Structure 1
Amino acid sequence: MQFRRSFSRTILSLCLILGVTLSPTLVLAAGNQETAGSPPTQESIQGQSSELPDAASEVSTPQQSPQRIVSLAPNVTEILFALGIQNRLVGRTDFCDYPAGVSEIPSIGGGMDAGVEGILALKPDLVIAPRDYFTASVEKLQDLSIPVLILDTVTELSGVFESISGIAQAAGVPNRGDALVQSMKERLQILQTELETLSSPRPRVYYAVGFGDGGDWTAGGDTYIHQMITLAGGENIAADVSGWSYSLEKLLEHDPELVLLPGSWPAEDAFKVTPGYSSLTAVTEDRLYTINNDLIDRQGPRSIDGLVMLASIFHPDLSPEVRQALTSGSPQSQDTIQSPEQARD
């Protein structure tokens, strides 16, 4: 069924996307003297040491700013574009589909591992990859002394800022990274200040990553998306579980006032008619919202857009003036700063 195929692709995309932001440890490894999980020594890298922002550990960087970068994650690709160094991007994955100009960049494929031969053909001087995926390819690249920036998973928005700063520094454009992070933090502060003034309560929210025969899947309390829902002024009904697995029984027990559905696959009509869901308050009050889930799945420069999108749905009384202020500096403001009615369309 198309429903199941679309759901499977969504889960694969989510796995790739959510495993690709920086934790406090950032490792740039080349050669096989060090394992992928430990910071390399000066002797194990052909490069120079530099200090990373905040809690990041010492990292070794190429002797010159990399000019041929391969990205193995969608949010990394978006970060490189936001930093204005997309001209250095020579390879990406099939899942790297934003912004529009990315279609002109060769893809190395879309599976759970990348072809080393395809990457080598692009002659990269830096490959940026998530730690938990593409493991075999990364090890082969390290054996061939190709610099690889290995990124760890994080569950907080602060990790997005560290990702941007770390990638910018590895690319030799730290000032651009600082400017982008500062712009995002300023927009976040505007939103948080506005939410503190609103009288509307936090709505009980459920993010339906998957449902039906394949089981119920959502963002638990230890996930990045949980923090996004919370920062946007919502109450995640799945905050008391870990990971992504949920149950229909729990869903009925907590009875969300509002359900978010990923726009990457058509699900709203199916959700309404699937047995067990029709009695939910969100269904009976017609408060199902199909969203651009890339804005909350991908931990990158559009994350603040994702928060504004959610806040506009959770709190319709968010002032037009604040929405306009938040539009300034947005990577795709016309697409994401929406009213709840627009988000539904």
Structure 2
Amino acid sequence: MSLFSRLFTGLNIVILTLFAAQMGRAESATRIVSIGGSVTEIVYALGQQNRLVARDTTSSFPAAAEELPNVGYARALSPEGVLSVDPDMIIATEGSGPPATLDVLKQANVIYVEVPEIYSAAGVATKIETVGTALGKDEAAQALSARVTTELADAQRRATAAAGDHPKRILFVLSTQGGRVMVGGRDTAADGIIQMAGGINAITQFSGYKQMTDEAIAAAAPDVILAMDRGGDHGLTKTSMLELPALALTPAAQSGHLIRMNGLHLLGFGPRTASAVAELSTAIYGAAQ
């Protein structure tokens, strides 16, 4: 065997040994912090909630999760808050932060698992399997993933049939604070769920969530306005919201077609996504005949 081959083989052995050690630590982790509502839902769906010691603000389902200590909002975490519960593992959705906090957490003697956010049926399956692997519950995760994938395929088939040849244009409103409307563009959870429910996102000019002018929103001509059902600026009555200058001239406002749904259910892309697709499709197109 050449020197290169011996070095390569030795390196592989080291990598595999480190990987096995990390996996062993993961399977034995008993003090887990879950960051991201869908991550927490998956942990519960896999029956591993007894290993959780804390969760973030977005983790509101199931109701029992809200009894856990809250370490803050997923995108505005402090390292002190997360580490105060003495975790041996952190499972967090992609996009958690800020980056400075993640740097501290990843340097601590804690296993850090990042769960990808992909707003599709395949993305939900990947998310479930990633969490399952982190917990050392691959077999249970594969079974859950298969069930959820089947449910999603059925929900999407029904939604596509409901839309028929006339899919409606949907405007997702994230915020109306101060009368300024922030909407969802491409590559967002809102964009993904709208498409899965048989709709067309009315905003394709940009990616992410951004404020738009009244004129641009009117030009988008949405048939339906979709928003999260929550307090704060979304505590506006239906009439007050539809009378906002930015929305009032849209076909959706003129027909009174406003849909509100629970934010985590609608945008979480977790085990209940098929239910979200079915609920949104029904709200857009009416109950299946």
TM-score by length of structure 2 reads 0.82
1:150 aligned residue (114, 122, 125): 114
Residue 262 (structure 1) aligns with: 228
State the AA in 2 paired with 1:188: L
Instruction: Give, in angstroms, the shift of residue 232 of structure 1.
Output: 0.7
State the AA in 1 paired with 2:37: P
**In structure 2, distance between residues paired with 1:116 and 1:213:** 32
**In structure 2, distance between residues paired with 1:110 and 1:313:** 29
Alignment of 1:1-345 (within 5 A): 47-48=19-20, 60-63=22-25, 65=27, 66-110=29-73, 112-132=75-95, 133-198=97-162, 199=164, 201-211=166-176, 213=178, 215-245=180-210, 246-264=212-230, 265-267=234-236, 268-319=238-289
Residue 8 (structure 1) aligns with: none
Q: Are residues 166 and 241 of structure 1, via their aligned partners in 2, closer, same or farther at CA, if it must alter by over 3 Å?
A: same
Q: Are residues 119 and 290 of structure 1, via their aligned partners in 2, closer, same or farther at CA, if it must alter by over 3 Å?
A: closer
Q: Are residues 296 and 121 of structure 1, via their aligned partners in 2, closer, same or farther at CA, if it must alter by over 3 Å?
A: same
Q: Are residues 42 and 302 of structure 1, via their aligned partners in 2, closer, same or farther at CA, if it must alter by over 3 Å?
A: farther
Q: Are residues 121 and 275 of structure 1, via their aligned partners in 2, closer, same or farther at CA, if it must alter by over 3 Å?
A: closer
> Would the aligned equivalents of 1:203 and 1:257 in 2 still touch at CA under 8 Å?
yes
**In structure 1, distance between residues paired with 2:14 and 2:109:** 14
State the AA in 2 paired with 1:171: L
Instruction: Give, in angstroms, the shift of residue 308 of structure 1.
Output: 1.0
> Would the aligned equivalents of 1:226 and 1:239 in 2 still touch at CA under 8 Å?
no
The CA RMSD over aligned residues, in Å, is: 2.6
Instruction: Give, in angstroms, the shift of residue 93 of structure 1.
Output: 1.7
Q: Are residues 277 and 119 of structure 1, via their aligned partners in 2, closer, same or farther at CA, if it must alter by over 3 Å?
A: closer
Instruction: Give, in angstroms, the shift of residue 143 of structure 1.
Output: 2.6
Q: Are residues 203 and 166 of structure 1, via their aligned partners in 2, closer, same or farther at CA, if it must alter by over 3 Å?
A: same
Q: Are residues 96 and 191 of structure 1, via their aligned partners in 2, closer, same or farther at CA, if it must alter by over 3 Å?
A: closer
1:152-189, CA deviations, whole angstroms, 9 ceiling, x for partnerless residues? Answer: 44343322211110110110111221121111111122
Residue 3 (structure 2) aligns with: none
> Would the aligned equivalents of 2:187 and 2:207 in 1 still touch at CA under 8 Å?
yes
1:177-217, CA deviations, whole angstroms, 9 ceiling, x for partnerless residues? Answer: 11211111111222233344444621121111123645332
Instruction: Give, in angstroms, the shift of residue 297 of structure 1.
Output: 1.9
Percent identity between the two aligned chains: 23
**In structure 2, distance between residues paired with 1:112 and 1:316:** 36
State the AA in 2 paired with 1:141: L
**In structure 1, distance between residues paired with 2:246 and 2:71:** 42
1:36-65, CA deviations, whole angstroms, 9 ceiling, x for partnerless residues? Answer: xxxxx965995418xxxxxxxxxx524451
Give the match's secondary structure for 2:208.
Answer: coil
Q: Are residues 119 and 297 of structure 1, via their aligned partners in 2, closer, same or farther at CA, if it must alter by over 3 Å?
A: same
Give the match's secondary structure for 1:128.
Answer: strand
1:224-255, CA deviations, whole angstroms, 9 ceiling, x for partnerless residues? Answer: 32121111111111134322223321221132
Q: Are residues 134 and 88 of structure 1, via their aligned partners in 2, closer, same or farther at CA, if it must alter by over 3 Å?
A: farther
Residue 38 (structure 1) aligns with: none
Give the match's secondary structure for 1:48.
Answer: helix
Count residues in correspondence: 269
1:287-327, CA deviations, whole angstroms, 9 ceiling, x for partnerless residues? Answer: 112222222221211222211111111221424xxxxxxxx
Q: Are residues 208 and 61 of structure 1, via their aligned partners in 2, closer, same or farther at CA, if it must alter by over 3 Å?
A: same
> Would the aligned equivalents of 2:198 and 2:281 in 1 still touch at CA under 8 Å?
yes
- More divergent stretch after superposition (150-159 vs 186-195): 150-159
Q: Are residues 151 and 48 of structure 1, via their aligned partners in 2, closer, same or farther at CA, if it must alter by over 3 Å?
A: same
Name the larger-Rg structure. Answer: 2
> Would the aligned equivalents of 1:125 and 1:147 in 2 still touch at CA under 8 Å?
yes
> Would the aligned equivalents of 1:202 and 1:233 in 2 still touch at CA under 8 Å?
yes
